[in-house]
A and B are shown apart, each in its own frame.
Chain A
Amino acid sequence: MTAHAEQTAQAVPGAVQAVPEAGTDRFDFVLGLADDALVAAQRLAQWCTHGPEMEEDIALANIALDQLGAARLLLTYAGELEGAGRDEDALAYRRDDREFRNCLLVELPNGDFALTMAKLLFLAAYQVPLYTVLASCGDERLAEIGAKARKESAYHLDHASLWVRRLGDGTDESHRRMQAAVDEVWPYTHELLAPDPTAPIDPATLRVDFDSVVSGVLAEATLTVPETAWKPDGGRSGVHTEHLSYLLAELQVLHRAHPGASW
């Protein structure tokens, strides 16, 4: 361990392995995408047996499964990039909250069904153009993951768009709750698209596609975006809301209690 790492480890207990070193840009980038998918999968899976109807229960579980599939491929690749011998399980189950690089949007609690759909709409509107760009990028591994995940994300976007339109342009009550959901979640979308010219793909370049899809859906749904300058962030550097800690406790408890267990 270097002196620098020791200092950082004291400042952030448990974050030793996340200390950035030269050449980890790609690792951090891939880890961010992986954690987005992993945390989104865990949140969506929490709807299982709690869906408003059986079909929706199954739909949310299916979308969670897609996210988990992408997360596993991305975590595996991140582990290889890091070169420290960590596999997908080590990265998913043995990191603390400060070592996670997901955006804040995905860790927010599910709220009511409208809030979950607002979160899914914004996440999918970000992931579809992201995976599409990855599919034709120079990194062979990211390209194959992007090509596969892009097709699945298109279904997520379609599903969320249908519900946001149905609820927004529905009854007074469904409109009120859908608008409240958009108001609550919208500020968190800025973190998804925050410029990062050092990243393999600058998220800011996805904004045109994101805005085009989201504004179209919201207009059809008779919804508006809130006027607020608040742009919460920190997820990409490991500074999260308290919600992530509880989510990770549930996600990791079994593996940490019984390392390497299988059945």
Chain B
Amino acid sequence: MTTAWAAVAAVVDPEIRVITIEELGILRSVGEEPVTGRVVVTITPTYTGCPAMDVIRADIRRALATAGHPQAEVRTVYTPPWSTDWITEAGRAKLARAGIAPPAPVRPTGPVPLTLTVRCPWCGSPETEQISRFGSTACKALRRCRSCTEPFDHLKAL
């Protein structure tokens, strides 16, 4: 099973290609059916309408086929709902290096209309402003740095 886990964990997110699905926190489990021995992978979507899910499922099956598990099944679960708190520390560091500001911790009550300082991933300045709360993908907002004037993506806390 370690080879199956390693193969699945290495699948990168098709929309944010610097981070793996394990680092993004959407990979729930990699198991084996007791009787058939078939590999079963469980994932969860970031957003309900995430259009990348089909590609992720196909990428997982392809990775497992290459690792010697051609009959793998990918299941999707919704409970508990994904949160940006599940993005690993390594994942956050990779996002920042790619110019995507990582999300702040989610409050227990969920997102609320408030403005938190988001540091510019390029120059580190806290002087940034939101251009649009909806960005190039469902999970990102668009911001601009007032210090270095560069625009950047921000993974929204969810």
A147 and B80 within 8 A (CB): yes
Q: Which residues of B contact A143 (CB under 8 A)?
A: 79
Q: Which residues of B contact A154 (CB under 8 A)?
A: 110-112
A162 to B78, CA, bound (A): 30
A158 and B113 within 8 A (CB): yes
- Bitwise interface map of B from 116 to 145 toward A, beta carbon under 8 Å scored 1, else 0: 000000000000000111111010001000
Q: Assuming the A-B contacts A55-B132, A62-B138, A159-B133, are A69 and B111 also in contact, with contact meaning beta carbons closer than 8 angstroms in the complex?
A: no
Is the CB of A175 closer than 8 A to any CB of chain B?
A: no
A163 to B158, CA, bound (A): 21
Q: Count residues of A near B (Cβ-Cβ below 8 Å).
A: 30
Is the CB of B68 closer than 8 A to any CB of chain A?
A: no
Shortest CB distance B148–A (Å): 20
Q: Which residues of B contact A61 (CB under 8 A)?
A: 134
A155 and B111 within 8 A (CB): yes
Is the CB of A148 closer than 8 A to any CB of chain B?
A: yes
Q: Which residues of B contact A56 (CB under 8 A)?
A: 132
A56 to B50, CA, bound (A): 19
B142 and A55 within 8 A (CB): yes
A96 to B50, CA, bound (A): 27
B contact set with A: CB distance below 8 Å: 45, 47-51, 78-82, 110-113, 131-136, 138, 142, 156, 158
Chain A, residue nearest B111 (CB): A154
B48 and A66 within 8 A (CB): yes
Shortest CB distance A51–B (Å): 11
Q: A62-B135, A152-B48, A162-B113 are in contact. List 17 more A-B contacts (CB 8 A).
A: A55-B142, A56-B132, A58-B132, A66-B47, A66-B49, A66-B138, A69-B49, A73-B48, A144-B81, A145-B48, A148-B82, A151-B158, A154-B111, A158-B111, A158-B113, A158-B133, A159-B133
A131 to B75, CA, bound (A): 24
Q: Assuming the A-B contacts A151-B158, A158-B113, are A63 and B48 also in contact, with contact meaning beta carbons closer than 8 angstroms in the complex?
A: no
B113 and A58 within 8 A (CB): no
Is the CB of A59 closer than 8 A to any CB of chain B?
A: yes
A4 to B56, CA, bound (A): 47
Partner of B48 from the list A55, A62, A72, A159 (CB cut-off 8 Å) is A72
A144 to B112, CA, bound (A): 20
A154 to B112, CA, bound (A): 7
Tally of A-B Cβ pairs under 8 angstroms: 76
Shortest CB distance B112–A (Å): 7
Partner of B133 from the list A144, A147, A155 (CB cut-off 8 Å) is A155
Chain B, residue nearest A59 (CB): B134
Is the CB of A248 closer than 8 A to any CB of chain B?
A: no
Q: Which residues of B contact A72 (CB under 8 A)?
A: 48-49
A58 and B48 within 8 A (CB): no
Is the CB of A239 closer than 8 A to any CB of chain B?
A: no
A144 and B47 within 8 A (CB): no
Q: Assuming the A-B contacts A144-B78, A154-B112, are A65 and B131 also in contact, with contact meaning beta carbons closer than 8 angstroms in the complex?
A: no
Q: Which residues of A contact B138 (CB under 8 A)?
A: 62, 65-66
Is the CB of A134 closer than 8 A to any CB of chain B?
A: no
Sample 10 A-B pairs with CB under 8 A, ordered by A number.
A55-B131, A58-B136, A62-B135, A66-B49, A66-B138, A148-B81, A151-B110, A151-B158, A152-B47, A155-B134
A48 to B78, CA, bound (A): 28
Shortest CB distance B54–A (Å): 11
A147 to B136, CA, bound (A): 24
Q: Which residues of B contact A68 (CB under 8 A)?
A: 49
